[in-house]
Structure 1
């Protein structure tokens, strides 16, 4: 049986370690990131993902995320996360990861609140 949580957990660990290469390796070359309620991806493709996280996220010293709750439905991994370092106060987000062949091919970020 395929463990669809494995690439999601690996990318979370790499995110918290600010390990860009390990982080990007968890994603499909055609990754699409959606920041809801947008209908078009905010990031498309591994190169765009790598450039964004290199410049906009992994430069933040206090950056980290913790999973408050995780649910798996088929090839979807749904994480309720608390994110630190981006805003003045930590904030919560729900992320739906679409896992295909051991890589994350789509991710939808839903703000909480």
Structure 2
């Protein structure tokens, strides 16, 4: 889990994607974004990282691990002042050392 956070913060899309299972599913539970399936789709969905300022990153405020399930509360930093410092919740299922599923509940 920590490796994917570090790759995300380094804006290293290939290393980030390598932390996920080939058949990963990423679901935005707000319904605002389509489900991402597979690491190639994941790379496309996270391609924005390559264009973000170096200061853009997430800090893990709290992590809870229960068997294969990891829940991270994240603080997003490095956004323009008008965007603030939003917090996000991420729920992951890890199998065989790779993230198999990720769910992002709505912030409101």
**Could you state the TM-score of these two structures normalised by the residue count of structure 2?**
0.86
Deviation of 1:59 after TM superposition, in Å, equals 1.2
Aligned pair partner of 2:11 in 5, 12, 18: 18
Structure 2 alignment gaps of length 5 or more: none
Structure 1 alignment gaps of length 5 or more: 1-7
Measured in 2, the distance between the counterparts of 1:52 and 1:77 equals 21
In the TM superposition, structure 1's runs of 4+ consecutive aligned residues that sit over 2 Å from their partners are 84-87
RMSD, aligned CA: 1.8
Residues 92-107 of structure 1: matches in 2 within 5 Å? 92-107=87-102
Deviation of 1:86 after TM superposition, in Å, equals 5.5
**Could you state the TM-score of these two structures normalised by the residue count of structure 1?**
0.82
Q: Show the counterpart of 1:46.
A: 39
Deviation of 1:53 after TM superposition, in Å, equals 1.2
State how many pairs are aligned: 104
Q: Show the counterpart of 1:3.
A: none
